[in-house]
Amino acid sequence: RAVAAVHVAGKQAILVGEVDQVDWRILEDTNGAQAPFFSPDGDWIGYFGDGTLRRVAAEGGPSLPLAKVGNQVRGAAWLPDGTVVYSPDAGEPLWRVSADGGESQPLTALNKERAERTHRWPDSLPDGKAILFTVDSGETTEFYDDAQIEAVVVATGKRKVVLRDSSAARYLDPGVLIFARGGALFATRFDPVQLETKGAPVPVLQQVATNVASGAVQFAL
């Protein structure tokens, strides 16, 4: 487990700890870190800090910069093929970069005909062939309960609407989609190959910390 937290020195950094233990330890070279996420093998932690997307070994050590980002980053996901998909700023689509660094490439593009303003909160499906993400094209930039969840096929860029009036989707193997709506988490059956939901969503957890202005929901699987 990993969290970004303000520790005793008054600085924000990544804290890591085993799930079955209560103790945490600080990863020293992660000052200012936010939004940590793991590599598929659990050996590395990606995060945002100092205006860059970065990575650091879960056991500690020097952090490595991967890409420049803005001041309002909106999530990232580490794919099995060794690339990272990320949202570099509030009004951006999704980008993709090697976990070893290098030149970033756009994965999605904002659809101006649908008045899309942002693509954010990416989550990889287990095989890394498709990414779930939140799309906002509502009348206001400060309300994400009317956003929609889409999937994009990494190889082709083809997109498909998965759920409406929802945000911050996360896939739970086998075949369950967890997502946020109205300050609560819901679950629904999901086909990761056809990229389709099945059946009606059911509520699973109420009163989850949510920032409705950005669509950020404080949970991890």
Question: Per residue in 6-48, pLDDT tens?
Answer: 877 778 999 999 888 888 999 989 989 999 999 999 999 999 9
Q: 65 near 48, Cβ under 8 Å? A: no
Question: Per residue in 121-177, pLDDT tens?
Answer: 999 999 999 999 999 876 666 678 889 999 999 999 999 999 999 999 999 999 999
pLDDT of 217 reads: 93
Rounded Cα distance between 89 and 42, Å, is 26
Question: Per residue in 28-37, pLDDT tens?
Answer: 899 899 999 9
Query: What's the CA dihedral at 94, 97, 103, 105 to 10 degrees?
Result: -30
What's the average model confidence in pLDDT over 189-208?
A: 96
